[in-house]
Chain A
């Protein structure tokens, strides 16, 4: 599996990272190295194996439908890079 520059740009797009030229090249090399290494997983026959998503076999963890105290709006907006008194603010989306 060889990662092309195109693929790097596509992945950067999906990851919402605006890579600089030198980053693109560097990541291309590094990712290719890593992928070459991980390709050895293909040696293993896993056709009849169930994938593992959770290390512990836990099921059915629920909470009751009850309202619990929230934080105040001031607290919520405290860390906002930009905000009005009531809203978070970003450049116009559409």
Chain B
């Protein structure tokens, strides 16, 4: 019997607002525990929530980017359950009328395009953090409590772990491009849970599904889904039944484990939040958001392809992250040698980002300086080799390329007279090699070039050096 998998994803993205969803506390990550809190997000007696407009706009941006219907009326609801990191004993979320519904995202996998439907995108508040491993107690930090989240729920249209990985990647890229979330799965600003079931291939009856959580990277999502699907297939193949349960992915052991706590009966007793009025999104507001929508990845790619005459492959790499594309286009303001920018980026910059594990935002060389550097190569002020040196210098020293060149006296020597002199000197002091060259040993040429470069500390214009050396040596033949 052949099986197929049915996968639906629930993705939570922390929104990049300055303040929390219902109060003015900062959302800044990494502050000392319990310092980004106030009576409102702590659920003190008598407090009331006030809705952050920007969070609503960010949610609508995501809805527009995924072709959702932006609902004209939308309401908040209370999701009631008890957990120590949920101060009010309920989470303000959305239930019956979410901000966005019925959208989709197209993904490409194995040369096939496929539409994954998005049932809904809604806005809700995050809970605090529980720390369980410090002893025979649990510690609570409410900094994260009240940070805005969007929840993206797909239809069970995903059929393989790889598709799930691609979908999640696309979502990640979009939220980053939209400027609404930093997409960091390791830090938890992007989280993914999956609902998984299997059925006989070709059937349209859904099997019992399990919920898989704790997958904190795209790779973990793919691995966990692979594991769970196999686990389910094994059970069903040997005549067993799938038990509906919540499972956790253990990335260290690379296995699926059941959740250790006893399942709370999931009766959330949703009802409309009485403390928050209805949200009405009229055409006017929607148009303002539409007009100000940051460029979506697919659109940016197309535009960059037509605007910069560089290979599609380069554009693909440059647009994998919005910040890469930003860096490129910023640099392109300072030089129109786009191919060079692309080359520098793909070979040097990416390497450094990977080695030092930093983001392009933390990369020390300003786009302006890279542009300047390329200009200086192109107008022959410095050679490509010296440029590399300047580049490396800029990684650790502040200062523009021109400043560094001046300081370190790296200007390319293009004065033919000076080069002639030096070439002459080198020829005269390397008679043995001259003899070898004249006898036909072409490889020795490189030796002369090397000597000239040494004499000039690498600053001699290489093409001039080549030209003059050849001339002089050929003259000697006569």
**A-to-B contact residues, CB < 8 Å:** 10, 13-14, 16, 53-54, 58-73, 76-77, 84, 86-94
Contacts and interface: CB of A to CB of B under 8 A. Distances in A.
A67 B41 CA distance: 13
Given A61-B50, A63-B53, A66-B18, A88 B34 contact: yes
Interface in B1-52: 17-19, 23-26, 32-39, 42, 50-52
Interface string B181-223: 0000000000000000000000000000000000000000000
Contact of A65 (B55, B137, B139, B142): B55
A86 B33 contact: yes
B169 interface: no
A90 B34 contact: no
The 3 closest A-B pairs by CB, nearest first: A68-B24, A65-B54, A87-B139
Contacts of B139: 84, 86-89
Contact of A58 (B24, B32, B277): B277
Contacts of B138: 89-94
A17 B138 CA distance: 21
12 contacts: A53-B272, A59-B279, A62-B51, A65-B53, A66-B18, A71-B38, A73-B34, A86-B34, A87-B131, A88-B140, A92-B137, A93-B83
Contacts of B277: 54, 58-61
B274 A54 contact: yes
Contacts of A13: 265
B213 to A, nearest CB: 13
- Interface-central residue, B34, B50, B53, B82, by most chain A CB under 10 Å: B34
B140 A90 contact: yes
Nearest to B35: A73
Contacts of B36: 70
A74 to B, nearest CB: 10
Contacts of B278: 54, 58-60
B230 interface: no
B477 interface: no
Interface string B51-65: 111111000000000
A59 B56 CA distance: 14
A70 B37 CA distance: 6
Given A65-B17, A87-B34, A88-B34, A93 B261 contact: yes
Contacts of A58: 277-278
B280 interface: yes
B37 A93 contact: no
Contacts of B269: 14
Contacts of B17: 65
Interface of B: 17-19, 23-26, 32-39, 42, 50-56, 75, 82-84, 130-132, 136-142, 260-261, 265, 267, 269, 272, 274, 276-280
Contacts of B279: 59-60
Contacts of B140: 87-90
A53 B75 CA distance: 10
A21 B19 CA distance: 47
A31 to B, nearest CB: 16
A72 to B, nearest CB: 8
B286 to A, nearest CB: 13
Contacts of B18: 65-67
A73 B42 CA distance: 12
Contacts of B280: 59-60
A91 B134 CA distance: 11
A93 B136 CA distance: 9
B51 A76 contact: no
A80 to B, nearest CB: 9
A90 B83 CA distance: 11
Contacts of A69: 24
Given A60-B279, A70-B35, A89 B24 contact: no
Nearest to B277: A58
B19 A65 contact: yes
A46 B103 CA distance: 34
Nearest to B275: A54
A76 B40 CA distance: 11
A16 B42 CA distance: 20
A71 B137 contact: no
A84 to B, nearest CB: 7
A93 B132 contact: yes
A45 B19 CA distance: 46
Nearest to B36: A70
A29 B272 CA distance: 30
A62 to B, nearest CB: 4
Contacts of A84: 139
Q: Give the most central of A71, A87, A90: most B CB within 10 Å.
A: A87
Contacts of A64: 53-54
Contact of A90 (B32, B75, B137): B137
